[in-house]
Amino acid sequence: MDRRILAALVEDATVSYADLGKRVGLSAPAAHERVKRLKRSGVIQRMAALIEPKAVGKGLLAFVHVDTRGWGKSPALMAVANYPEVEEVHSVAGDTCMLLKVRTENTHALEGLLAQIYDAPGVLATRSYVVLSTYLERPPQPGITASWPRPKASLPVAAAQ
């Protein structure tokens, strides 16, 4: 039931408790109580508006890999989270230390943001990946892929050769 409620709220968090209850098969008061419990438990962290990036002058989406000396999470580098262009900051495994999701007005603004990132002590290099098209972008979904892990199937004879 909680997953159905979460799925409905991810689709439209402005839905009334009466409509939410109808969608998931509960009364409005029962739906309200479940949502309150989900908030109290921390499953629902906050309700937020999804803004069209171009409407606020941030039509360029890029992912920036940041290579640093050492572990990389210095206070100076973590200060990039204060820039409104930076939407996400992740410490990652692999050939880079940090991954940033950023939105800027254009490539000139991205260049300016990269210059500020380079000013942080310990930053050695960045690699930027500018998004050309987005095919799927959504918040976390409450569903679970039922067939994972996939059962091992025998390979067709032609594929095995």
**H-run or E-run covering 28:** helix 28-40
Residues of 101-116 as b/e, b for ≥16 C-beta within 10 angstroms? ebbbbeeebbeebbee
Q: Tens digit of pLDDT for each residue in 31-65? A: 999 999 999 999 999 988 888 999 999 999 999 99
Q: Tens digit of pLDDT for each residue in 63-109? A: 999 998 877 678 888 889 999 999 999 999 888 889 999 999 999 99
The CA distance from 24 to 7, in Å, is 10
Q: Which fold has domain 53-130?
A: Alpha-Beta Plaits (3.30.70)
**What is the CATH class of 2-40?**
mainly alpha
Q: pLDDT confidence of 148, banded at 50, 70, 90?
A: low
Q: Over the chain, what is the mean pLDDT?
A: 89
Domain with CATH 3.30.70.920 in the chain: 53-130
Query: Is the pLDDT confidence value at 158 over 70?
Result: no
